Amino acid sequence: MSFFHTHHRNGLKKKAFPAEDATSLTERIPLVAMLEEDERQRLYRDMNVFLEEKQFEGCAGLTITREMELAVASQACLLILNIETDYFPGCESILIYPSGFSSYESRPIGRGLVMESEVARIGESWGQGTVILSWDAIRRDIAGLTGRNVVLHEFAHQLDQSDGASDGWPTPMAPEVEAMWLEIMAPAFKTHVASAEKGKHTTIPAYGAKKPAEFYAVFTELFFEQPQSLFNDHRKIYEVLSAYYCQDPRSRVHATGARH
């Protein structure tokens, strides 16, 4: 990063965050409302950078509003609140559809053949350039802490993809966290896949068995949205995510008396 880019970012971090935006966030976004005041101030500084550097674009006739920008920026920046990152460098633009959208998925079917099919999605993260989201899904997610959050999910993928691979290994990661990740996440993923293949009921969404990248993204949703339940059911996974994100969402839930 150039000196001038760093200097510009530092200026953005010092810029006052609009009071009306801060009020809107604490009233509308539970994940922001539960933060301590010093955490919120750090979040606002990161949001100033995020909102300046990312391009928002409405699709299928949708007009981008400030509410949409704040909803995405606040939850994306929550992921990097306490870790050193380059503000999701793989994401230059954020496309928002009014509701779900269609995408094409390719999968091998044997003998060198590949089947391409159209699938309905509410979010998608590309390795370079773009995150795509559904506004209906975003609004649904911020209405309550259900354990589903498309913004957290897709920007977790951005952290995962920042080294060029979508493998369930987000970066940057401290050496001591790497050791925890290897010990805990890989075996847990294999166990979840085995349970899903046998049709066993599990508290982890079945989608997490698709591949390690989805396993990590699904657990990120649960870590921030339902931290107490995750701690109760999968304590080791909670602990490794807490070590990676340098956050303890359980403490916020206990401090505010919120459920989950």
3-state DSSP assignment of residue 234: coil
For 214-225, write each residue's pLDDT tens digit: 999 999 999 999
Phi first, then psi: give them for residue 129, nearest 5 degrees.
105, -40
- CA 110, CA 46: separation in Å to the nearest integer? 46
Phi first, then psi: give them for residue 101, nearest 5 degrees.
-140, 165
Do residues 239 and 180 make contact, with C-beta atoms less than 8 angstroms apart? Answer: yes
pLDDT of residue 115: 52
- Does the pTM surpass 0.75? The reply is yes
For 1-26, write each residue's pLDDT tens digit: 688 888 999 999 999 999 999 999 99
**Which stretches within the chain are classed as H helix?**
3-14, 19-28, 30-33, 37-53, 66-79, 135-142, 150-161, 175-197, 212-225, 227-233, 235-245, 249-256
Specify the higher pLDDT residue, 114 or 36: 36
Residues 6+ apart with CB under 8 A from 20: none
